[in-house]
Amino acid sequence: MIPKKTYSNSQSCSDVSQNITRIVEPSFEFYSVFSQTEVLELIKALDVRREIPLKYAYKGGGAKIWHNFYQKYIIPKWYQPANVEIDLLQQNFAYITGSYQSCQKINIVDVGAGNSYPVKKFISQLKKLGKINKYIALDISQELLKVSKANFTKWFPKIDFDSCTVDIENSPISPEILGNFNSMQIKDIANIFLHLGVTIGNHQDRNRVWQNFRNSMDKNDLLVFTNEIGSNSQWDGKVRGGCKYHVEGIYTWMTNNLGISSEDCQLVRKYDLKTDSITANIKFLQNYTLKFSQWGIDQTVEISQDEEITIWRHHKYQMPELTQELDTAGLQIVHSSSNKYLSHIMVICKPADCET
Ligand SMILES: C[S@@+](CC[C@H](N)C(=O)[O-])C[C@H]1O[C@@H](n2cnc3c(N)ncnc32)[C@H](O)[C@@H]1O
């Protein structure tokens, strides 16, 4: 079913083109992808922050957009530079699996696993060491978890695979998901939580994400993540990578599913001072009323001509800011290293208040 559109003209005839308000309702696909709770969170984010959180753009048809973008632009090819995540995992292998780990085995808990491609080489090395207990793929997107499972079980048919949908911005990872059923298991199996693909820079509430990671961790566990390093405000304005290709896919998918005509909007990318991030926004060229009426929800969001709605964002860190955020969440950096261009960093953290 295509999104419903109606037009309401509350103004005088002479001014019609200027004052039309388009009233639209999201598509059938939209309501089949998001749960009631997610629709309510999305409406609130639209209403209060003028944002559709990027995390929702990986669900439903958005999973295919990410996977296609990944296959086309991120998997290394002879004409394409090496993959930052794979390289940094290689570079930090010894630290991640190192001797300070007193446990016999490790679970790799890949949070925001996507298609799991970045961990393929890393898992292969762990397998050779006989150290891996289980790979657990967690993601907000059920559809990407299916891709992850198909890939992982093909690559490693003999390694235990588990998966679960999780929104790491909203809650910690439960012990049931990790399989921590008794204290002996916790002692012998450490969890290595991965948060790769510079995903931390995409979240709206990064502090809640850090806190949720910290609350998921035990004393032997580690958190390993990547992000871009540098100044957001000195962005050169050039769109590349995800900011170009992923954003284009999300923009088309979102506007189509919300029922916004292509001639009524524009894609704008800019530095946003308020969030100190690079953002991609839908700029409205008409007044719009987005009407949400499903599962007993009956809410509208009014968007005026020239207003912008953020659909993608990325925050680069400066090291002091990152250390401060981690510190506040009770996480302590044990090691970090950057790629050769000094654009990306991999950070390994442990719970700050636990003796190892
Ligand atoms: C930028 S992609 C990175 C994927 C993969 N880690 C990689 O490096 O290729 C972000 C991934 O995190 C997932 N994700 C985004 N926000 C999330 C959230 N709040 N909770 C759980 N997963 C999330 C997305 O569905 C997507 O698979």
pLDDT digits (tens, 9 = 90+) for 25-78: 999 999 999 999 999 999 999 999 999 999 999 999 999 999 999 998 888 776
Confidence check: pLDDT of 6 > 80: no
Q: Is the CB of 139 under 6 A from ligand 1?
A: yes
Q: What is the pLDDT of residue 181?
A: 61
Question: For ligand 1, atom 9, which residue shows the shortest CA distance?
Answer: 197
Tell me the CB-side half-sphere exposure of residue 79, using CA atoms within 13 A: 2
Give CATH 3.40.50.150 domain extents, the chain. Answer: 83-228+318-351
Per-residue confidence band for 15, with pLDDT thresholds at 50, 70 and 90: very low
CATH tag, 83-228+318-351: 3.40.50.150
Cα 286 to middle of ligand 1, angstroms: 32
Q: Is the CB of 196 under 6 A from ligand 1?
A: yes
Q: What is the pLDDT of residue 354?
A: 72
Cα 139 to middle of ligand 1, angstroms: 6
Give mean pLDDT, residues 146-150: 98
Per-residue DSSP letters for 295-334? TTEEEEEEE-TT-EEEEEEE-PBPHHHHHHHHHHHTEEEE
Alpha-carbon span 211 to 220, nearest angstrom: 17
Q: Is the CB of 197 under 6 A from ligand 1?
A: yes
Question: For ligand 1, atom 18, which residue shows the shortest CA distance?
Answer: 167
Q: Is the CB of 201 under 6 A from ligand 1?
A: no
Cβ distance 238 to 195 under 8 Å? no
Q: What is the pLDDT of residue 350?
A: 95
Alpha-carbon span 177 to 107, nearest angstrom: 11
Q: What is the pLDDT of residue 104?
A: 84
Confidence check: pLDDT of 16 > 50: no
Cα 231 to middle of ligand 1, angstroms: 23
pLDDT digits (tens, 9 = 90+) for 232-282: 999 999 999 999 999 999 999 999 999 999 999 999 999 999 999 999 999
